[in-house]
Amino acid sequence: MATPDTPTPPTASVPAAADGDRTSRGLTLLFAIAGGTAVANLYWAQPLLDFIGRDLHTSTTLAGWLVTATQLGYAAGALLLVPLGDVLDRRRFIPGMMLCAALALIACALAPSIGSLLVAVTLLGLTTVSGQLLTPLAGDLADDTNRGRVVGTVVSGLLIGILTSRTLSGLLADAAGWRAIYFDAAAVSAAFALLLHRTIPPLVPKARLSYPQLLLSVWHVIRQERAVRWTLFLGATAFGVFTMFWTALTFLLSAEPFSYPVSVIGLFGLIGLAGALAAQRAGRLHDRGLSMPATGWGWAAIVVSFVVAAFAGRSVAGIIVAVLLLDIAVQGVNILNQTRLFALAPGARSRLNTAFVTCNFLGGAAGSAAASVLWSGGGWTAVSLTGAGLGCVALLAWGLGRRRPLLNKRRA
């Protein structure tokens, strides 16, 4: 069984560049902000489901599928496009994907019906994968002693983008309508494409493979590494309960007794922002060799957050506590999972990230779909109990994996 110190040799690779930290605080911050603005594209619609449904004369339940469609498109993009980061010039590839996302955003803004908007957001999900290309790039540029910190910073940027997107979309939709969000996001995506093309350092591709071989090598790493399979399960479950919670929260806050407008619903994203800033420290825990125990504590916190949510269905204060605890826990677990994966096979980080992101967003799509079903069947209580139950399953899986060591003691 492979460990982080015994990389898997699944492919014919170009020799890696000599080790050394080629990052700077400025470049790391740029990657974090650019990745955050990219991944925000997936969530502009989440606090606006009722608002968009009324504007396009459709039900909130059907509008809820906008989140699912975007995430399915993103999972497909992660599977089909992110592996190319190991074989293409990322200085051109990443800006090119951001320009494609800008075009998809314009299509969203111009969509005349819910059907056309569903198609447009699916294409948006497919093309907005630049954040997942920047994360392994940051891991490649950092050295072994700082990789957890650098990756943690970039991933925190992605998570902050997810959370602030809800706040920004709510405020902007209240002032100028939901279509203005997509027009503005298209302009931002195009601007970052130009900036990244000028700042990403030149790198030799890490592998020379045909496209079919590249995709097959993703499966090879998953099949050969039990540590990868275990981490993918934990990651997909975490993102599934996270998306289920936030999708259902929109339904909860739109309904009685709250009946909040979209601008107020979006402000709840700022609560999670505090959690994202706190979870940024998780990468440092990996660098200190505390990745495994910290993951267990994160899952325990996820379970507690859903228990709090179950008793807080009519209490704004209780919901705020649940949001804060859930976001700190999920984001910390996400950073730890991703950093452990990058340590397993340095020559295949984009492909490992492909597996990670694809599984995460399949889990996220399942979570958003489950939120609609659970809300219709049992309301907030059903959502909260399901989240707590899934958290217990993941905590059990973590415990079993902990008893059968997946990583060597130095990393675990």
Query: Is it the case that residue 412 has pLDDT exceeding 80?
Result: no
Contact, 187 vs 307, CB < 8 A?
Answer: no
Calculate mean pLDDT across residues 236-253. Answer: 92
Distances (CA, A) of 243 to 127, 130, 157, 361: 20, 20, 18, 9
- Tell me the domain boundaries of the chain: 25-403
User: Tens digit of pLDDT for each residue in 197-206?
Assistant: 998 887 777 6
**Long-range contacts at 77-80 (CB < 8 A, ≥ 24 apart):** 77/125, 77/126, 77/127, 77/128, 77/129, 78/129, 78/132, 78/353, 78/354, 78/357, 78/358, 78/361, 79/215, 79/218, 79/354, 79/358, 80/126, 80/215
pLDDT at 367 over 70: yes
| Residue 3 pLDDT | 38
Burial class from Cβ neighbours inside 10 Å (0-12, 13-18, 19+) for residue 285 reads: buried
Q: Which tokens belong to 37? A: 């603005």
Name the residue with higher pLDDT: 398 or 263: 398
Q: Per mean pLDDT, which range of 17-21, 81-85, 112-116, 239-243 is the poorest? A: 17-21
Q: Does residue 20 have a pLDDT over 60?
A: no
Selection from 338, 39, 383, 340 nearest residue 241 by Cα: 383
Which spans in 111-257 are helix H? 114-127, 130-141, 147-176, 178-199, 211-224, 226-254
Q: Please, which residues bridge with residue 276 across strands?
A: none
Predicted confidence (pLDDT) at residue 139 exceeds the cutoff of 60: yes
Topology of domain 25-403 in CATH is Growth Hormone; Chain: A; (1.20.1250)
- pTM reported for the whole predicted model: 0.70
Compute the average pLDDT of residues 333-345: 80
The share of the chain scoring above pLDDT 90, in percent, equals 33
Distance between CA atoms of residues 336 and 231, nearest Å: 10
* Paired tokens of 278: 């706190």
pLDDT at 23: 66
Q: Is 259 exposed, middle or buried (0-12, 13-18, 19+ CB in 10 A)?
A: exposed
Q: What is the pLDDT of residue 300?
A: 95
Question: pLDDT tens digits, residue range 68-97?
Answer: 898 889 888 888 898 888 788 888 999 999
Q: What does the block give as tokens for 226?
A: 């039990």
Mean pLDDT of the chain: 82
Question: pLDDT at residue 19 above 70?
Answer: no
